[in-house]
Amino acid sequence: MFPKWFDKWNRENPTNIYGPAILVGAAGVAVTVAAFLVVVGQPFKTESLQSGPRGTGMSRAEFVSDLAKPDPTIEVMYSEAPYVPEGGEAKASEIYQNVQVLGDLTEDNFNRLMLAMTDWVAPDQGCAYCHGDVDVEEYGNDDLYTKVVARRMLQMTQNINENWDGHVNANKQVGVTCYTCHRGQNVPSDIWFRMGAVNEAAGGWAAVQNRVTVQSQYTSLPSDALETFLLDYGRIGVHNLEAHVAEYPDEEGVTTWQDTERTFSLMNYVANSLGVNCVFCHNTRAFYDPEQVTPQWSTEQLGIGMVQEMNNDYLVPLEEVYPPERLGPVFADAPKAACKTCHKGYQQPLQGTNVIADWPELATTGAPVYE
């Protein structure tokens, strides 16, 4: 096709085409990637939350892709609008036997809530989980521990919504229902039991170090932090902030380095439970100054008080009701709650979904307000 002289010259003067081809290919890939990022979005883009005064480093950066990732349990959460009473309807306590908590509800709203609780707590077992495999006429019996526990949990839920509004609804109306903790499981995830001695080495001297446990968030920090602070009302604090203080560990009220580590253990647990870091509540320049903390610090303080009340007034007293298989493996104690039981890694449980809107019966110990 080409003249002979051209073919001869071409053979005698070969050209390296790989360098330009690689250059052109790399440029093409770069253009394609840039176009993809413009159209689809930057997957590693971060978003900062200013959690304190500017210039103090009190900001928290998170990947936008993580922030936008939905909690998968939200989509499957069951909810149903209430039936607004017209007046004159018979009450549940007049129709059914042994209705101790929700007796003032109309029959329609009572059954609506019972069906919802079944879906939230025992979707596989159904009504039989609390009432047993009996006729409807026998549903008033308290033969199963699950029904006794469920009744007390209803009272606890009403108490949380009614008396701990400052924590639960700190930013907007959110509320809690059975689903907040259970998420379709008979027993909520992230409950806890007393651990016992956790600084005993398998052999030799433990060097006063702690075994790594799930409650210490897989660190060697003390594993009894939840027991000390969320059950026994222990004082959350670190060592004396003054230097050269004449005090001794055996003196009452003196905070030891073990107490400091125990506080760090609790803070680590709280951070992991909410998916945040220290500056979400604290000013890193003044960790111990309550006048320089963020608003979230106060919300967390209310949360700690709420959990203490839940454990001591509602959960621990049920110890004699539970069968042995529901009790702790070491001390046979009742299961207890903590931050992660509700939050499950999110700043707000169920990412701030208003779960109480359709359930005014769970929002108050008094007569529900229907709208």
pLDDT of residue 198: 73
pLDDT of residue 84: 94
Q: Hey, what CATH topology would domain 73-172+356-371 get?
A: Photosynthetic Reaction Center, subunit C; domain 2 (1.10.468)
Q: Which residues pair with 47 in a beta bridge?
A: 62
pLDDT of residue 56: 59
pLDDT of residue 61: 67
306 assigned to a ligand binding site = no
What gap in Å lies between CA 288 and CA 96, rounded to an integer?
A: 55
Domain ranges of the chain: 73-172+356-371, 190-343
Alpha carbon distances (Å) from 50 to 53, 67, 248, 271, 280:
8, 15, 41, 17, 9
What gap in Å lies between CA 282 and CA 127, rounded to an integer?
A: 46
Q: Hey, what CATH topology would domain 190-343 get?
A: Photosynthetic Reaction Center, subunit C; domain 2 (1.10.468)
What gap in Å lies between CA 89 and CA 95, rounded to an integer?
A: 11
Are the C-beta atoms of 157 and 307 separated by less than 8 Å? no
Are the C-beta atoms of 189 and 341 separated by less than 8 Å? yes
73-172+356-371 and 190-343 share one CATH topology? yes
Alpha carbon distances (Å) from 192 to 164, 236, 283, 337:
22, 19, 30, 7
pLDDT (tens place) for every residue of the chain, 371 residues total: 677 776 776 777 776 656 666 777 788 888 887 777 666 666 666 666 666 555 556 666 666 656 667 899 999 999 999 999 998 899 999 999 999 999 999 999 999 999 999 999 999 999 999 999 999 889 999 999 999 999 999 999 999 999 999 999 998 999 999 999 999 999 999 999 998 777 665 455 666 677 788 888 888 888 899 999 999 999 888 877 788 888 887 888 888 888 888 999 999 999 999 988 888 898 877 888 888 888 899 999 999 999 999 999 999 999 999 999 999 999 999 999 999 999 999 999 999 999 999 999 999 988 898 87
End-to-end alpha carbon distance in the chain: 88
Are the C-beta atoms of 107 and 92 separated by less than 8 Å? yes
156 assigned to a ligand binding site = no
What gap in Å lies between CA 113 and CA 115, rounded to an integer?
A: 5
239 assigned to a ligand binding site = no
What gap in Å lies between CA 219 and CA 272, rounded to an integer?
A: 12
**Eight-class DSSP state of 356:** S
117 assigned to a ligand binding site = no
- Burial, 294: exposed, middle or buried (Cβ in 10 Å; 0-12, 13-18, 19+)? buried
For 361, other C-beta atoms within 10 Å of its C-beta total 25
Buried b vs exposed e over 137-172: b needs ≥16 C-beta within 10 Å? Answer: eebeeeebebbebbbbbbebbbbbbeebeebbebee
71 Cβ contact list (under 8 Å, min separation 6): 344, 346, 350, 351
* SS3 call for 183: coil
3-state secondary structure 89-102: CCEHHHHCCCCCCC
